[in-house]
Amino acid sequence: MAQHWQELIPIDRYLVTSNGLLHEYDRKVLTFLYQPLIGSTCLSLYMTLWAELEENKLWSESSTHHLLMNLLSVNLKDIYEARLMLEGIGLLKTYVKTDESGRSFIYEIHPPLNPEQFFLDGMLNIYLYRKIGKNHFSRLKRFFTIPKKPMEEDYLEVTRAFQDVFASATPGSLQYMQEHAEDLEAESTQEFIGRQEQKPIQIDTNTFDFDMLMAGLNESLVPQKALTKKVKEVISNLAFLYGISPIEMKNFILGAINENDEIDIDDLRKGARDWYQFENYDQLPSLINRTQPAVHQVQVTEPKTQEEKLIRYYETTPPIVIFKELSGGVEPSVSNLKILEEVMIKYKLPPGVVNVLIEVVLRKTDMKFTKGFVESIASHWARLKIKSVKEAMEAARKEERSFKESKKTGKSTKQKPIRTEVLPDWFDDNGKESVKDSIKDNSELEAKKRAFEEKLKAFRK
């Protein structure tokens, strides 16, 4: 992926539009429900774009991104990263056009979900619960709800319908409509001001292997028709939210099938949530970047060397996959997963950097993943403000050089002895040169061996 300066520069112009009218009540929803998930910078960007729209208008004047940098007092990289987060959570759509005059953007801000949609979403509400805790979540739920008005059983509804109150008696209405047809129809170049209902977050159903799921389900127990479009959408969301495989999902579906051969969505969600909490000591998942954010990726060109290929791999692979592969295919334990999650949240290390940390720790501690050692490296890298894979690899090399030098000079060190023979190949600064030296040494050794054998044959003769 390209860097932010390839996607956006200060002189690029932009317009702001809205997908519909935004209400004052939306500010409370954004502040209390969305801000804990996306952060204050994202909220500030959204609010600033909203403020650029004139009252009762759906288009703003043209501006440059340099103005946004001044208004928000942040750099362009932070603006770009905040924009991506707003797009991912469904609050913004971006359109771009490039011509001879330069590059211009249209930022279409979308209204947030209403409180009912958010608290019943099945994804965002779970992330919010984990983020702010039970007490604050309950408080927000009370803030956005009111007690239902009890309906007395003795009361009967006597509301009149439209046709009961009004009558249509307009002689010559057909001729009138023909004469004023253009006035009655909507103009093709105009649209009415309104607001469409915001759609909740939906994970692409193509990301889940439904063929494998159906192969594991017995047709007599779960018919094909039970997997409706809505059910498939829920399954995709649950699989993303809790990391459920098609084989594991089969058990939850069998537990949610009712007497009508239909899948009860509420039971399906409850079964998946209960299983996850049981496996993770009553914890719920957090909302984190699964792979290295585009703004922190450095390997933007096609990798050629082994190190460049490794950097690209670490930038595009989730930490849990790296951990499993380095462990020989063994699934990480619950405590290991908890350590990884804490590192990404507590020290704000990007996933690609965490991948490097995983390899360093496992190689240097004989495949042990102890919390103390992990946090010592994570806190150090956080203080160094390391954000890219390349920076993390260089920091690891520097630390290794420092340790070796202190060992040679006889200086004391607090570090425990490490097994340097299992360190990653990229720890070597010389790269290809070290490989050439190794090949040269081997060839010299072979030459000496052959010479010795020739002498031994001559001696026997």
Tens of pLDDT, residue by residue, the chain (461 residues): 446 777 888 999 999 999 878 888 999 999 999 999 999 999 999 999 999 987 657 788 899 999 999 999 999 988 998 999 999 999 999 999 998 888 999 999 999 999 999 999 888 998 899 889 889 999 999 999 888 777 667 788 889 888 888 776 565 555 655 555 566 566 666 665 556 667 777 888 888 888 888 887 876 678 888 889 999 999 988 888 888 888 889 888 988 888 888 899 999 989 888 888 887 767 777 665 556 666 667 766 677 788 888 888 888 888 888 888 888 878 778 778 778 877 777 787 888 899 999 999 998 888 888 888 999 999 999 999 998 999 999 999 988 888 777 777 765 555 555 444 456 767 665 554 444 454 455 566 566 666 656 655 654 54
| 48 contact partners, CB below 8 Å, separation of at least 6 | 68, 71, 72
Q: Residue-wise over 53-86: b if at least 16 C-beta within 10 A, else e?
A: beeeebebeeebbeebeeebebebebbbbbbbbb
For residues 42 and 48, give the distance between their C-alpha atoms in angstroms, rounded to a whole number.
10
> Which two three-digit tokens encode residue 454?
């020739």
Per-position DSSP letters for 97-162, written without gaps between them: EEETTEEEEEEEE-PPPPHHHHHTSSSHHHHHHHHHHHHHHHHHHHHT--PPPPPPTT----PPPH
Q: At 197, list the tokens.
A: 């209902």
For residue 15, give the DSSP letter.
E
Is residue 251 within 8 Å of 216, Cβ to Cβ? no
Global pTM? 0.56
Determine the CATH number of domain 4-112: 1.10.10
DSSP string spanning 404-444?
Answer: HHHHHTT---SSPP--GGGS-GGG-TTTHHHHHHHHHHHHH
| pLDDT for residue 449 | 61
The residue ranges of every structural domain in the chain are 4-112, 205-279, 294-427, 430-461
Please answer whether residues 65 and 76 qualify as being in contact, where contact means their C-beta atoms are separated by less than 8 angstroms.
yes
pLDDT given for residue 113 in this prediction: 92
